Amino acid sequence: MTYLKRKRKKRDVFTLQEFGWISKVYVNRPEVVRHAEHIKKWRTVKGNWQAAWLLKAVTCIDLTTLSGDDTPSSIHRLCYKAKHPIREDLLKALDMHDKGITVGAVCVYPARVTDAVNALKAAGCNIPVASVAAGFPSGQTALEIKLAEIKLAVQYGAREIDIVISRALVLTGQWEGLYEEIRQCREACGEAHMKTILSTGELGSLANVYKASMIAMMAGSDFIKTSTGKEVENATFPVGVVMMRAIKEFYWQTGYKVGFKPAGGIRMAQEAITWLMLVKEELGVEWLTPELFRLGASSLLEDIEKQIFYLVTGSYPLQHDLAMA
């Protein structure tokens, strides 16, 4: 493929030489689905190996609250949990208490960014604050408003921005328009990292997922993300496989590593481990870092801590044994 050309060095953005390649994209859906069914049957790890995978998952979580009733006090509690995701005595039992384990980021609405930044600063930690923006979750907002919202979130202190694309541009085949929209969002982010939410459950086909993934990366995305968490269908393994194959192709063509973030519906510890294993199989160990892999979740951490409690004590915790976020 010869459709990529590096435009600038500091913040990699690529121009599209032509859009003809888009019509040639084909995804073998039955084979992808078959592979996804195989993934679901992978054996789970046990004992210390399970603990290691679970703690790795913790470091990759974007601990998220996107509720209409978020307040400064609830954000403060979330940030405390972000810094102390696993009970100290449990970490000591695993000899991991001095490893500085925290979540990957705290993700909130733009209006709550300042609360999160202040809470994390007061806690003395450097966990980045991520903010959804650009008309989240529907994307049905004028581009000028999307860009203004991004700039405000960055101004408030967000170091990562999770934007949403206009799904209509994909569904109507306006690929140049999609590229330009994402490129302008990238510029509005400045030095903040940008995660582009594709809302894959609303794109109509796996071929569209692949196309949107490639264009998002060409336009300068640091991460591509499956879902907002508000769709009927969120992160699924078939979609994950297609997006990771696009990331791999983009890396082969450009040498540029783009991160991957499944989000929405990931609530159980075993699901998190399966996603980690899938990333390892598709992209390699070097992607298993918070810089290149995140899990978007609001309740996942609770189940991970329960599983670690069981591994350490041999019994599951009672309701009062673990702190609420």
* Cα separation values, 129 from 79, 133, 150, 220, Å: 10, 13, 13, 20
Is-catalytic flag, 162?
yes
Catalytic residue among 151, 195, 261, 303: 261
* Cα separation values, 304 from 83, 192, 219, Å: 15, 29, 35
**Burial letters 93-119, b for 16+ CB under 10 A, else e:** bbebeeeebbbbbbbbbbebbbbbbbb
Run of H or E including 64: strand 61-64
* Cα separation values, 316 from 217, 237, 247, 307, 320, Å: 42, 29, 38, 7, 11
278-284 long-range contacts (CB < 8 A, ≥24 apart) are 278/39, 278/237, 278/240, 278/241, 278/244, 279/244, 282/241, 282/244, 282/245, 282/248, 283/244, 283/247, 283/248
Residue type, 282: E
Run of H or E including 261: strand 259-261
CA 138, CA 101: separation in Å to the nearest integer?
Answer: 34
Is-catalytic flag, 89?
no
CA 133, CA 110: separation in Å to the nearest integer?
Answer: 7
Is-catalytic flag, 92?
no
Catalytic residue among 162, 195, 211, 303: 162
64, β-bridge pairs: 107
CA 61, CA 24: separation in Å to the nearest integer?
Answer: 36
Residue 196, phi then psi, degrees to nearest 5: -100, 115
Residue 56, phi then psi, degrees to nearest 5: -60, -40
Catalytic residue among 81, 146, 151, 225: 225
CA 193, CA 207: separation in Å to the nearest integer?
Answer: 26
Tokens at residue 167, please? Answer: 């799904």
What amino acid positions are annotated as catalytic residues?
A: 162, 225, 261
